[in-house]
Amino acid sequence: MKKTAILILLALTSYMVNAQTKIIAHRGFSGIAPENSLSAFEKAIEIGAEYFELDIHKTKDDSLVVIHDAAVDRTASENAKGKIAEMTYKELSAVNIGNPSKFGDQFKDEKIITLREALALAKGKIKVCIEIKVYGAEEEVIRTINELGVNDEVIIFSFYYPVLAKIRSLDKNIPILYLISAADATTFDYANVIHANAIGVGSKTNITKEFLAEAHQAGLEVWRWTVDEEEQMKELIGLGIDGLISNFPDKAMKIKKEM
């Protein structure tokens, strides 16, 4: 009887650890649709991901647009080129991002969208990770979130510590996540200074149960980007990672359910 109780306790503990892992669609469901596109976000909603992640830059006329790079060159179709900061929103809205070399004509009319459009799509359906890629966008990001009333449906990311410090000065409660490729105990201290809710780490961080325990002791969640290999998904979910960011969130969701 005692042995049975211990086995049940272990099973429940394992379930609770795995169940805490949030699955985040990286730049939307970018494994099957153009990154940071309306279609990629819609597909993340369709599969029931808990979050989709997006990146924002600021245009010449101060619009906040959803795109990863500082220029359109990599993601634009038809050989369009140009730096986001040197283009107006009107100019950017004419750029196609359907990625025909990867997806054919399936997304040929896909356009660059604004942060407001992405958040309006997500409202009430899925939470959003907003990665701020530039300085000077903080006030407009918070204004947009407030106007749409999605304060409880977002978390703000950045590699730029001063950006997150500014966000925290503007909003004492909004969730924030400090992105850093290689994290250690010092990272926890920096994150706590700005009252971050989590850190997001890359492949240079050795994630162990001890590392996660130390982060949790410091009041921080640990999210890992960008994980597409199934074996690594299993390992991280098994360890109890708090957030797993993937271009293929469907795989991660399936593995989480099976585990």
**Mean pLDDT, rounded, of the chain:** 93
Question: At which residue do the structure tokens 């356009």 appear?
Answer: 111
- Point out the catalytic residue in the list 26, 57, 195, 216: 26
Find, among 12, 8, 28, 31, the residue nearest to 20 by Cα: 12
Residue 55 banded pLDDT, cuts 50, 70, 90: very high
Token readout for 128 is 């959003």
Please check the confidence at residue 13 and state whether its pLDDT lies above 50.
Answer: no
Choosing from 57, 68, 195, 216, the catalytic residue is 68
8 pLDDT more than 70: no
The mean pLDDT value for 34-39 works out to 98
State the average pLDDT over residues 217-224: 98
Tell me the pLDDT tens digit for each residue of 168-215.
999 999 999 999 999 999 999 999 999 999 999 999 999 999 999 999
Of the candidates 98, 147, 163, 157, which has an alpha carbon nearest to the alpha carbon of residue 127? 157
Counting other chains too, the contacts that 188-191 makes at CB distance below 8 Å and 24 or more residues apart are 188/214, 188/215, 188/218, 188/220, 189/218, 190/161, 191/218, 191/220
- pLDDT exceeds cutoff 80 at 7: no
Provide the pLDDT for residue 5: 44
**Structure pTM?**
0.93
Q: Determine the pLDDT at residue 16.
A: 45
Question: Does 195 qualify as catalytic in the annotation?
Answer: no
The second-level CATH assignment, the architecture, of 21-56+123-258 is: Alpha-Beta Barrel (3.20)
pLDDT at 19: 61
Any idea where the domains of the chain sit in the sequence?
A: 21-56+123-258
% residues pLDDT > 70 (the chain)? 93
Confidence at 18, pLDDT banded by 50, 70, 90: low
78 vs 31, higher pLDDT: 31
| pLDDT at residue 79, rounded to an integer | 86
Q: What is the mean pLDDT of residues 223-236?
A: 98
pLDDT at 14: 40
> What are phi and psi for residue 249, nearest 5 degrees?
-60, -25
Q: Is 68 a catalytic residue?
A: yes
What is the percent of the chain where pLDDT is above 90?
91
In single-letter form, the type of residue at position 185 comes to A
